[in-house]
Amino acid sequence: MKNPSVDTHLLPADSGTIGTEPLLAVDNLHVEFTTRQGVVRAVNGVSYALNAGETLAVLGESGSGKSVTAQAIMGILDMPPARVPKGEIRFRGTDLLKLSENQRSQIRGQQIAMIFQDALSALNPVFTVGWQIAEMFRVHKGMSKKDSYTKAIELMDRVRIPAARQRVNDYPHQFSGGMRQRIMIAMSIALDPDLLIADEPTTALDVTVQAQIMELLAELQRDSNMGLILITHDLGVVADVADKIAVMYGGRIVENAPVHDIYRNPAHPYTKGLLESIPRVDMKGQELYAIKGLPPNLLDMPTGCAFHPRCPFRQDNCVTDVPALHAISGTRSSACHYWREVLDGTAG
């Protein structure tokens, strides 16, 4: 990707997209952490883009860098120990990394919002849920206490929390897990953000509740035309809602494609492995596939392709050469030297 000229001033919220500039473009992002044991390179040149109204699922296991990337977009990484040595995060054409902390906190919550995995710990235990939602209106819009609470109740209704008016003064621990996540969602969409990042929003929930939350997110997105980034380790959860998928491994994107293409025919051995390890009704009775080996140690990354120690398609050059993200069609790319073989299903 080429770098278009960077706007240093903030754009009005309704400016939409300029020419071909997407809503969000992450470009060659690097994030590293300084730890006692050494420097951990958590994100190594990640790029992805998202348009308004689009849903991108970022898929990967713990340590793949998917959440760190999201936190970098949000600007909530602890720096130090985190550092962004390289890369750009352009939101409506403006590189967020070049903004001051003050300007960024103006964007956070108002234009880019985030939902976290564990709503119980993500909500402040000593304030009522109403207070926490209303705070968005009071601080960002300067509303009165009364008006902001009315808004909070409206939002709680909108995310379908029963008896919102009665429950507005309850504390987070008095709600069930699913209801708490709805409160998180209500808080995040309070100011109609253009981009919503959901970091494993359903991981801590029961399967039935998971589906309801995903449905709610999809519905809210359709209504408001916001961009949605769904971070998950679970392919099954995002299949119905996502437009495209970015698969991450060892701090890099290994495959990038529209959702049906990935399901129909993955172009990276890691994605292939993930798909094959999903239990399927039509494969009943067969042994479930599991990717061999362990996720890479971020302090001691394998040479060459990070996936090579676990890869059934491995050749000698995988151990030495880092594969670039090859474009394999207009909409797809794969970071595998042997993506053709993976697509054909030969070897492995």
Partner 1 sequence: MSDTLTEQKPVKPPKQKRPASLWSDALYDLRRSKVFIIAAVLIAILVVMSIIPGLFSPVNAFDSSTCDLTIARQGVSSAHWFGTDNLGCDTYSRVIYGARISIMVGVFSTLATTLIGGLLGLLAGFYGRWTDTVLSRLAEVFFAVPSTLGALLILAVVGRDNAGIWTVVLALSVLAWPMVLRIMRAAVMSSKSQDYVVAARALGAGPGRIMQRHILPNAVAPVIVVATMNMGVFIAAEAALSFLGVGIQSPDISWGLMIADARNRFLQAPEALLFPALFLSITVLAFVMLGDAVRDAFDPKLR
Partner 2 sequence: MGRYVVRRLLQAIPVLLGTTFLIFALVYALPGDPIQALAGDRAVDPIFRATMREMFHLDDPLIVQYGYYVQGIFTGDFGMTFRGVPVSTIFEGKFQVTLNLALMALVIEAIVGVGLGLIAALRRGKAADTAILAFTLLLVSVPTLVSGFVLQLVLGVQLKTSTGIDFFPVAGTSEGWRSYLLPGLVLAGTSIAYLTRLTRTSLMETLRADYVRTAIAKGMPRRRVLGRHALRNSLIPLVTYLGADLGALMSGAVITETIFNLNGIGRQLFDSVYLSENSVVVGIVTVLVLIFIAANLIVDLLYAVLDPRIRYE
**Which lies closer to partner 1 via its Cβ, residue 67 or residue 111?**
67
- Report the interface residues with partner 1, using CB under 8 A: 33, 35, 37-38, 40, 42, 60-68, 116-117, 199-200, 203, 231, 233, 297-300
Q: Choose among 230, 231, 148: nearest CA to 191.
A: 148
Q: Which of 2, 9, 36, 173 binds partner 2 (CB under 8 A)?
A: 173
Q: Which of 7, 135, 234, 276 binds partner 2 (CB under 8 A)?
A: 135
Write out the E strands in 223-279.
Answer: 227-232, 244-249, 252-258
Instruction: In angstroms, give the least distance from the CB of 96 to partner 2.
Output: 13
Looking at the DSSP bridge assignments, the partners of residue 86 are 30
Report the run of H or E that residue 55 belongs to, with start and end. strand 55-59
**Torsion angles phi and psi, residue 111, rounded to 5:** -110, -35
The item of partner 1, partner 2, none sharing an interface with residue 136, based on CB under 5 to 8 Å by kind, is partner 2
**Which lies closer to partner 2 via its Cβ, residue 183 or residue 257?**
183
DSSP 115-166: E-S-HHHHS-TTS-HHHHHHHHHHHHH---HHHHHHHHHHHHHHTT-TTHHH
The item of partner 2, partner 1, none sharing an interface with residue 109, based on CB under 5 to 8 Å by kind, is partner 2
The item of partner 2, partner 1, none sharing an interface with residue 187, based on CB under 5 to 8 Å by kind, is partner 2
**Which lies closer to partner 2 via its Cβ, residue 128 or residue 256?**
128
Interacting positions 51-110 with partner 2 (CB under 8 A): 74, 76, 101, 105-110
Sign of torsion, CA 224 237 69 3?
Answer: negative
**Which lies closer to partner 2 via its Cβ, residue 93 or residue 193?**
193
Q: Choose among 246, 203, 196, 198: nearest CA to 223.
A: 196
Q: Choose among 207, 231, 221: nearest CA to 73.
A: 231
The item of partner 1, partner 2, none sharing an interface with residue 64, based on CB under 5 to 8 Å by kind, is partner 1
User: CB within 8 A of 114, min separation 6: which ones?
Assistant: 70, 74, 76, 188, 196, 197, 198, 199
Residue 192, amino acid = D
Interacting positions 177-236 with partner 2 (CB under 8 A): 184, 187
Instruction: In angstroms, give the least distance from the CB of 103 to partner 2.
Output: 11
CA dihedral 279, 277, 260, 57 (to 10 degrees): 110
**Which lies closer to partner 2 via its Cβ, residue 81 or residue 85?**
81
- Where along the sequence are the contacts to partner 2 (CB under 8 A)? 74, 76, 101, 105-110, 113-114, 116, 118, 121-127, 135-136, 139-140, 171, 173-174, 184, 187
